[in-house]
A and B are shown apart, each in its own frame.
Chain A
Amino acid sequence: MTQMTFARAINSGLRKSLENDPKVILMGEDIGTLGGVFRVTDGLQKDFGKHRVVDTPLAESGILGTAVGLAYRGYRPVVEIQFDGFIYPAFDQIVSQVAKMHYRTQGAVKMPITIRVPFGGGIGSPEHHSESPEAYFTHTSGLRVISVSNPQDAHTMIQQAIASDDPVLYFEPKRRYHDKGEVDETLDLSAALSMEKARVVTEGTDVTLVAYGPLVKTARDAALAAADEGVSIEVIDLRSLAPLDFATLEASVRKTGRLVITHEASQTGGLGAEVAAGITERCFYHLEAAPVRVTGFDVPYPYSKLEMHHLPGLDRILDGVDRALGRPNSLSGLEG
């Protein structure tokens, strides 16, 4: 076990993938000599060369489109999208090409592309640097979407994503890059938790609280705070956003009878809606209350002086828990 930051844990995972498979190739803007704007790829070009760690021109569709061609040729490209809000120019290549090539060719052409996306807010950035675009991709068949919440997962899941023959969007919570945690670098991938599985972070009996990426830490803090008031929250880290591990969610909700889901992304059409609907379909008669969503608002990501109002914090999450429990809350007295 080694103490390391989140960013370092990803770097270490990338290094192992580069070492283990000569077909792995990293591509992106500023990832080489600079080591990426968040230094996640620090030192990799120096050690693996410019042909393995490629500084690309500034063109997101170009990065993804050439990755498709490299995958056609048998490579396993790992591309970095510098910031969440820059992924949109690459949207067509991701949803129309990367996602569909395997289906289109009836399995003949594999697209083992990993798309690393630093995402989410909370770091006081300007516009286009704090977005949570994950739902666009969970809506697209053919893609796997994951989000990591701690250094150990960051380390193992980047390797699992790269090893996957399916394309994977790997969402990195940028406000957690400097958080430290224990990482077992010797953990065998087959021994690690499958990247499709959700993880029960803290066990509880009163409410199931679902989070992923940057909000897992906040959710855990909320559970600790709630425990002081005698409320037992079971926190689940989704880890995989597509597919969703409903088996783990279902087991938890059958136990607690109440569901709260939280994410930074806007509410409408967000992942919270999918979790709420899926759980309602599966365990309607076990629910004691309607599922509750605590999310970002349906607004463009606001300027940084207001972002703390947009992002679900500990208190907003606890308010959501109170709603699920039927305890006095900010909406008490309102219909619906």
Chain B
Amino acid sequence: MFTDDAGKGGIAAGGPGNSAESNRRTGGDLVQLITPGGERVSNPEFDSWVQDVSDEQLASLYEDMVAIRRIDAEATALQRQGELALWPPLLGQEASQIGSARALRDDDFVFPSYRDNGVAYVRGVQPADIVKAWRGNALAGWDPYTVNVATQQIIIGAQSLHATGYAMGIQNDGADSVAVAYFGDGATSEGDVNEAMVFAASFQAPVVFICQNNHWAISEPVMLQSHIQIADRASGFGIPSMRVDGNDVLAVMAATRIAVDRARRGGGPTFIEAVTYRMGPHTTADDPTRYRDANELEDWAAKDPIERLRTLLERKGLLTGELEAAVAAHADAVAKELRAGTINMAEPQPLDIFKHVYSTPNSTLDRQQDHYTRYLASFGDPAEAASEEGAR
């Protein structure tokens, strides 16, 4: 159960070659560096990993969190207005996503789930590209290699294996980058996540598993997924883990830096459970009032990740009117870009449906494409014919 107490634990220190030590964890304490009241608290093991975070960087973390909350709100509005078919809000998970993603290097490779829009934003994915798949204009909004972010995975947990395989490739290449898999608490019930941990441990692959335990897998509570703390599962695979307050951007950042550093130095995989809460629905098609108590939401609203950082900035005297205005202006600009980019998005062409199924020609598909081209041509204007076909 989540507690507001400042965490005392963390992972045992341990570098490469110290596997017995590094495989031991110190229990289920929740690491926290910022309390829900916005107070910076000390944690000897984790503090050093974020001591370089300057006031400016703290403000920039705040700016990113506000921006992705704004993207979320704007995308939800766009969905309600019929511009997006569906949207999976991350409301409440801003610290987990920004804190972890900001701890990565450009040459690290991220394998996200469909809800990790904040991670995509940090990696440089354009706002409209984030919603492209949800508008139905593509299956993926970006080229993975331009931002080192794989396409968002919809099959629960499948990407954890992709990250592990990618990490095995990094290892083979002798590189010091890291692969990162993002998934939720529900995914830890899937075979793929468990198989990914087996492979990662067996090969000591440089992969970091970031589980955002947001307490709900659509309508199923986390208790239905695990009767022990999710972070504790990792030790059964021989993978060291940390359990951090996922609404605390500094705690998440510190944990991710520890894990990434371990991986870069050849210390193998790490599992991070970021304990957070999905304050919105699973997707815009969902109605959480049917399955969860209003009091629970209220409790978690009091632990809001953005409010927490805002209070810290205030306490440190950093929350100037100038900063507030700059953060608001940035969020406005991102939202505007998202809206304009969505509404003006180029429509795919009918024959695009046949493109990229294979790298090389395929006689069966070529024949189907040829027949459909002739069919469309029989109407005169292919685009018009296709839109009529779609309307039926």
Contact = CB atoms under 8 A, between A and B. Distances in A.
A74 to B, nearest CB: 7
Interface string B159-196: 01111111111101100000100000000000110011
Interface stretch (A1-9, A107-115, A172-180, A326-334): A107-115
Nearest to A165: B359
A57 B196 CA distance: 10
B168 A70 contact: yes
Nearest to A111: B359
A142 interface: yes
Nearest to B191: A61
How many B residues touch the partner, as a band?
35 or more
A243 B358 CA distance: 11
Given A57-B202, A65-B192, A93-B158, A106 B355 contact: yes
A66 B151 CA distance: 16
A72 B359 contact: no
B356 interface: yes
A243 B144 contact: no
Interface stretch (B123-131, B213-221, B245-253, B361-369): B361-369
A266 B338 CA distance: 52
Interface of B: 109, 111, 138-140, 143-145, 150-151, 155, 158, 160-170, 172-173, 179, 191-192, 195-196, 198-199, 202, 355-360, 362-365
A104 B140 contact: yes
Among A61, A67, A92, residue most surrounded by chain B Cβ atoms (within 10 Å): A61
A243 B362 contact: yes
Contact of B363 (A141, A164, A243): A243
A59 interface: yes
B166 A61 contact: no
Among A72, A97, A107, residue most surrounded by chain B Cβ atoms (within 10 Å): A72
A72 B358 contact: no
Nearest to A245: B363
14 contacts: A59-B195, A62-B195, A69-B161, A69-B169, A72-B169, A73-B173, A92-B155, A102-B356, A103-B139, A109-B151, A166-B358, A243-B365, A244-B364, A246-B363
Contacts of A72: 109, 144, 150, 162, 165-166, 169
Contact of A103 (B161, B179, B356): B356
Contacts of B168: 66, 69-70
Given A61-B192, A71-B165, A72-B162, 12 more contacts: A62-B198, A66-B162, A69-B163, A72-B109, A72-B165, A74-B169, A75-B169, A104-B139, A105-B356, A107-B356, A166-B358, A243-B365
Given A96-B158, A102-B357, A66 B165 contact: yes
A196 interface: yes
Given A72-B109, A243-B365, A102 B358 contact: yes
Given A61-B192, A62-B195, A108-B143, A67 B165 contact: yes
A201 B292 CA distance: 66
A166 B360 contact: yes
Interface string A245-258: 11100000000000
A71 B150 CA distance: 12
Contact of A109 (B144, B161, B163, B355): B144
How many A residues touch the partner, as a band?
35 or more
A96 B111 CA distance: 16
B125 to A, nearest CB: 13
Contacts of A106: 138, 140, 143, 355-356
Contacts of B195: 57, 59, 61-62, 65
A242 interface: yes
Contact of B161 (A61, A105, A243): A61
A89 interface: yes
Contacts of B162: 65-66, 68-69, 72, 97
B363 A97 contact: no
A51 interface: yes
A196 B151 CA distance: 30
B144 A65 contact: no
Q: Which 7 A-B pairs have the closest CB atoms?
A: A69-B165, A65-B161, A73-B169, A66-B165, A62-B195, A165-B359, A69-B166
A56 interface: yes
A51 B173 CA distance: 10
Contacts of A92: 155, 158, 192
A114 to B, nearest CB: 14
A109 B161 CA distance: 16
A57 B199 contact: yes
Contact of B199 (A56, A96, A109, A110): A56
Among A69, A96, A107, A247, residue most surrounded by chain B Cβ atoms (within 10 Å): A69
Nearest to B160: A65
Contacts of A196: 363
A292 interface: no
A100 B192 CA distance: 18
Contacts of B145: 108-109
Contacts of A219: none
A73 B107 CA distance: 12
A296 B31 CA distance: 60
B132 to A, nearest CB: 11
A222 B168 CA distance: 49
Nearest to A240: B363
Among A107, A110, A244, residue most surrounded by chain B Cβ atoms (within 10 Å): A107
Interface string A93-134: 100110010111111111000000000000000000000000
